[in-house]
Amino acid sequence: MGTNQQRREAAKRKLERQLARRAERAKRRKIIGIGAAVGVVVLAAGLIVVLTGQDDEGAANAQGEPSSSAAPSEEGPSEEISIPDQRVEPAERSEPLPNPTDCEYPEGGEAAKQVDPPNGQGISSQGTVEMTLSSTAGDIPVTLDRSLAPCAVNSFEHLAEQDYFTDTTCHRLGTQGLQMLQCGDPTGQGAGGPGYTFADETFDELTYGRGILAMANAGPDTNGSQFFMVYGEASALPPDYTVFGTISDEGLKVLDEVAKAGHDGSLDPSPGGGKPNTEVRFTDVTVSQ
């Protein structure tokens, strides 16, 4: 009896030890699980900080990557946007262009929206054209200057007359370094064009800043349909982008509000900026007079 009792007690103690070990292992697993969960949260927070840091170090490229047309880079965060109050004076050519002049619009790239190339013969290089870019964010009146870029003005007018810009969105907003809104791609991705190109109409005296309207490009002589509207700082740009007009004070107020709403950072760190948080979709583009 004594022996059996001892055996039962030994078996009971063994079972109790086994249960205790199991409970301890379960407790350890629970602690490890909580620790791992905390680690994931910390890691996620770390990723958010890292991603935000990357977004804050963006560069702008007026047409962008993915993009076939580009303007230069911007650096810095998209928060706390500081917009200058003063417009810049657009440069004037020291020597006027021949009037009339001829423009060439050779095929280039696949058309994002079907359109015929403009007539390039006997184009005027004098006078201005008043246009209004009507959008979901507000009207943006602009003045196109033939004396600066007759071929760009001729192409822009032609595209507007064929409703090329209607129902297209501006795909890129830059808020630091290069403060501009880029538009003109029917795909809304930054790589689309009209299926033709035309040469740069630049000169050394070109400057950029608040109020300037210019063509985006993907390198020399690759202008198409994409353009950018500068609402703020852009003084560091080299004279590689065809300036073909100016933006009215009314239009700049619209751009300022779009800029203050920020962008999604989708194009940071390169080329910089991103899709504007306030959608700018053109509902019509018309000649005002």
| Residue of 249 and 48 predicted with greater confidence | 249
Evaluate if residue 1 carries a pLDDT over 50.
no
Give the strand pairing for 282-287 and 243-247. Answer: unpaired
Rounded percentage of the chain residues whose pLDDT exceeds 70 = 72
d(CA 288, CA 133): 10
Show Cβ contacts of residue 255 under 8 Å, excluding neighbours closer than 6 positions.
140, 181, 229, 231, 247
d(CA 150, CA 103): 8
In this predicted structure, what is the pLDDT of residue 56? Answer: 31
Rounded percentage of the chain residues whose pLDDT exceeds 90 = 67
Show Cβ contacts of residue 138 under 8 Å, excluding neighbours closer than 6 positions.
253, 254, 257
Residue 256 identity = D
Range of the domain at 150: 57-289
- 4 is a domain residue: no
What integer is the mean pLDDT of 12-39?
Answer: 49
- 17 is a domain residue: no
Q: What is the largest CA-CA distance in the chain?
A: 125
Three-state secondary-structure class, residue 160? helix
- CB-CB neighbours of 237 under 10 Å: 23
In this predicted structure, what is the pLDDT of residue 250? Answer: 98
d(CA 176, CA 56): 9
Q: How far is CA 241 from CA 48, 259, 265, in A?
A: 35, 21, 24
- 19 is a domain residue: no
In this predicted structure, what is the pLDDT of residue 76? Answer: 40
pLDDT digit string, tens, across residues 98-148 = 999 999 999 999 999 999 999 999 999 999 999 999 999 999 999 999 999
- Residue reference for tokens 């190109």: 197
In this predicted structure, what is the pLDDT of residue 209? Answer: 97
Is the pTM value of this prediction over 0.85?
no
Band (90; pLDDT cuts 50, 70, 90): confident
CATH of the domain at 169: 2.40.100.10
- 71 is a domain residue: yes
pLDDT digit string, tens, across residues 204-241 = 999 999 999 999 999 999 999 999 999 999 989 999 99
**φ/ψ (deg, to 5) at 267:** -110, 10
Is 260 in contact with 240 (CB distance < 8 Å)? no
Tell me the two tokens of residue 5. 């009792």
Structural domains counted in the chain: 1
- 203 is a domain residue: yes
**φ/ψ (deg, to 5) at 96:** -65, 150
pLDDT digit string, tens, across residues 47-62 = 222 222 323 333 334 4
In this predicted structure, what is the pLDDT of residue 80? Answer: 80
Say how far residue 53 (Cα) sits from the centre of its chain. 18
Evaluate if residue 278 carries a pLDDT over 70.
yes
Tell me the two tokens of residue 37. 């969960």
Run of H or E residues at 209: none
Three-state secondary-structure class, residue 223? strand
In this predicted structure, what is the pLDDT of residue 270? Answer: 87
- 239 is a domain residue: yes
Tell me the two tokens of residue 250. 């009314």
d(CA 275, CA 258): 11
Average pLDDT score over the chain? 82
| Residue of 79 and 1 predicted with greater confidence | 79
Is 243 in contact with 229 (CB distance < 8 Å)? no
Band (34; pLDDT cuts 50, 70, 90): very low
- 47 is a domain residue: no
Evaluate if residue 242 carries a pLDDT over 50.
yes
| Residue of 72 and 284 predicted with greater confidence | 284
- 8 is a domain residue: no
